[in-house]
Chain A
Amino acid sequence: MTTSTEKVAVVRDTYTRYNPSERANHWLVVVCALLLMLSGLAFFHPVFFWLTALFGGGQAARAIHPWIGVVLAISFTFMGIRFFRQNIWTKEDSEWMSHVGDVINHREDKVPEAGRFNAAQKLVFYVMFWSVVTLFLSGLVLWQHYFGDAFPIGLQRFAGLVHAVMAAAMIITMIIHIYAAIWNAGSVRAMTRGPVTGGWLWKHHRRFLREEVGGRK
């Protein structure tokens, strides 16, 4: 008797989309980003202040938020190094981007073939990269307990503004990123478990599939 997963394995080719260390790295970033978003929103707008209760109150949330930021910055650095090469922007990506309307309307036959990451995923990578860099630097300036007196007041005010703007950009990008994973069935499994089917790659990352198949000869 075979289980359903074994059946899939028999009938379909599977490819490893994300290996265990890529997945672990990604989810460490996710945990940090979610905790930072929840505590950060609490400081950003009064309607979210109650979220500080999740962290043990306002003082505790204020104290822990920057430390989570440090963990995120370190784990994102590793992820950035890991995925940097596959996220370099190419002419094909600009072409893909011009078909973004076809993408969201399920007209994939009109969309150019994508490599391991499509242009939208690369944009997510860039926004995340620059968000993390600016949030980390501005966060250091705002870290009252250690650096409260270390920076001139004009820079402190600028850091407050930049931190809020980039956090909003990052949260909006996270919403888009998470939605895209839910919408494109199979993506969540790729990041939680690892494998995707050949058909999934054919549909979403055909150029990558061609390279994979070519490489397997």
Chain B
Amino acid sequence: MDSVVDALRLSLLVSFSATALLFVVGLALAWVLAMRQFPGKNFLDALISIPLVLPPTVVGYYLVVLLGRRGWIGAPLYRWTGWSVVFTWQGAVLASFVVALPLMVRVARAALEAVDKDLVQISATLGKSEWETTWRILFPLAWRGILAAVLLSFARAMGEFGATLMLAGNIPGHTSTLPLSIYSAFQSGDDALAQQMAVLLTLVSVVVMILANRWAGQRL
């Protein structure tokens, strides 16, 4: 039972941290894609969306290439700080973040784009800055869609497996989130434990999906 609690606690820690990061970064990216025209916009959109079509293990592989101790960013980081994100719970957060980012950005962007553009323009003629218009008009009118985006991202982060395994490994009590623990239990023949955790993960996901559908006001 302890291992279930440990895995659940770790999964919640990783998913909440990834969701907090997704909320800030994903919403900012969604805003830029919804409100701005700039060269390379399609490329940025495609880059963010790649994890939707790539196997998570491949995403994880690229993350290792980028952030591993010998990686492009990871090597200088390790030299300066003596710390690497590989095999840490922060690595699991990063893997979940990258894999869930397209969901957050796409759903939040659709919500922002659904706000009547006349309202944004009239706000400008009333002397309000883009920042003020965003906070007082765009976000309040798009909050249901943004909340749905956050919930979906959370659910995706809870279920993340492949990229997490590649970047953070499967260290019990340290980086073994629920999906990884289910795999370990199943591999070692502990079917009862695997079943308990699978049911738990399914329940969390179903509840999150119901809430997301209700708040978005439509089926996603």
A and B together in one complex: no
